[in-house]
Chain A
């Protein structure tokens, strides 16, 4: 069934995006059906696998050898992700028909997008870590292609490279993490033999779940940190967050699909899977919580001042991913995935709405827009719905999931006081989130005219762009309410199967919810006050806040710092490598060359051309042969024995 999904996707060719749309639509139907079936029978695992190769056991390593399998696994988590990936994938594919209409290189675009979707689906339904990693890399590759889609633009090309290299750091850590877990589970641990079985997530009909005791072995701690590193690279968590805002150089559709809904979610998915199947130590959990909470806040601050509509949304993505990481770190993997689920829809909605604006105006600068709500009613409404969902205003989707995140972390504060600062950060980010997203909304849509009169008159996109907005709006409103459906709850609960799930979703701590809603409302109010009705709020140059603004605009100078490190560090390493290359490798090579040159020079003189000389060599060789046969060989036989 699942192979059918990826199979049809992989068989991509041809120009027409309609083929891609049709195939992704079919995949969506299949994906949703799978999830539906899974929801009807929670706790059901379907695992199909074939043996890829088998390594025979060597003494002292694996008693039974090591088998690597390729397979697909449908369980509650993967079917949840399948819904996200296929639905958003289909919607974005449809939207692309309108959005990308005037671009060249469309076959390339659809091929890459389809490959991405196939890889993403493969990743979601992988049944073992190795296969997971393969698809993970494939997804990263597609991301590189798509960010650099406008490869003539130097900024796009460099953004693609940046994204690739930064995520590569994470990938290497991920791989190291796999190796560490491998060496651990191969020999010891409650899941002994699990690694020898090729990291398959299930065994028969029982899932391999993480040991309930989160061991304190140093190895496992380090392995957990490594896995976190991989996830942080993919999900743009601090300190590997720098690539995501730059990734906005790609087409907006790509941003919506890859850098909002799916690929960046892969990191979160990895963390969730790891926490369920591998287990983290308490130290790991603390680090994960810290990174998640800090990133949620940190990214939100950067979004506050940015003038680029897409980058504001990009920062909010980083921030929201921070929430998910936070929840997983606190031990609530399924809460994190729940937020991922809702976030995917409203974030894709925001991106597509922004894309609709960009499509109409040809600019991404918020300060040039304004007054768009009249010509673009649908887009304005969609963006507002997405914004409300993001800000966490009930009953929109974001409210339910974000509240679950906050309240689940809150429930752990008693046991882990060290989580406090990160909880507070995440809470503060609620306010910032509401503020910046509505700042963007007011700047773009409110007022009565466009600020930059040179821009073309705004208009709505064709129907293929409007339909996705409507679909996603519906999800952004309703996805949070899914949690009240027993089937969906079963999906979340069944996926967990481990302790640490709040008793019921959607019934978060009332006081906490009230505070967060008030904060969000406050943020929206502030945005309305400063930017509403076409107003532009600008800080006085003398204001004490100016340096702060500059700091935020320059993204805390992180990129500059990384560039500096890159330039200096790489230069130093290169110098060392150059030295090594020049003197050690080249020295060896040239030395050998000179040696052989000298030797052959001597030998050359033997080639006199004189027949008698050659005859003499023959005779000398013969004598030598006799000497060996008569003297040396008998000696050796006498010395070492012979048959």
Chain B
């Protein structure tokens, strides 16, 4: 069995975060933005799991427990986000965030 090393998993997380940030910065579609945010969030959640797994018995299942809680948070966040998408769609007839710029000075 190949030895699993922590930095490899961390690199995976970093990659996911980079994809997420790229998505946040470039997408104009609100749903795609939400998906990008979710990816970034999952990168963070994964980190909890890695560190919990690699720290052995000292922390028990704390990291995994936090991960489960965070997944729940992410779900609620998405619920709120989708509600905003619906409202935006009703208001503008589109879900392109480039059109929702009334807050600027």
Contact = CB atoms under 8 A, between A and B. Distances in A.
Contact of B97 (A604, A607, A611, A619): A611
B48 to A, nearest CB: 20
A612 interface: yes
Nearest to A604: B105
Interface in A602-633: 604, 607-612, 615-616, 619
B104 A616 contact: no
Contact of B101 (A604, A610, A616): A610
Interface in B31-78: 33
B102 A609 contact: yes
B19 interface: no
* Contact size range, A: 10 to 19
A609 B103 contact: yes
Contact of A608 (B26, B27, B28, B104): B104
Contact of A612 (B26, B102, B103, B105): B26
Interface of A (DSSP majority class): helix
B35 to A, nearest CB: 14
Contacts of A610: 97-98, 101, 104
B33 A619 contact: no
B14 interface: no
Interface in B84-105: 97-98, 100-105
B100 A611 contact: yes
A615 B101 contact: no
B25 interface: yes
Contacts of A615: 24-25
Interface string B8-28: 000000000000010011111
Contacts of B98: 610, 612
Contact of B104 (A609, A612, A619): A609
Nearest to B97: A611
A612 B97 CA distance: 8
B105 A607 contact: yes
Give 10 nearest A-B pairs by CB, closest first. A609-B101, A609-B104, A611-B97, A607-B105, A607-B104, A615-B24, A609-B103, A604-B105, A616-B25, A610-B101
Given A609-B102, A611-B97, A612-B28, 12 more contacts: A604-B105, A607-B103, A607-B104, A608-B104, A609-B100, A609-B103, A610-B97, A611-B33, A612-B26, A612-B27, A615-B24, A615-B25
Interface of A: 604, 607-612, 615-616, 619
9 contacts: A604-B105, A607-B103, A608-B104, A609-B101, A611-B97, A612-B27, A612-B28, A612-B97, A612-B98
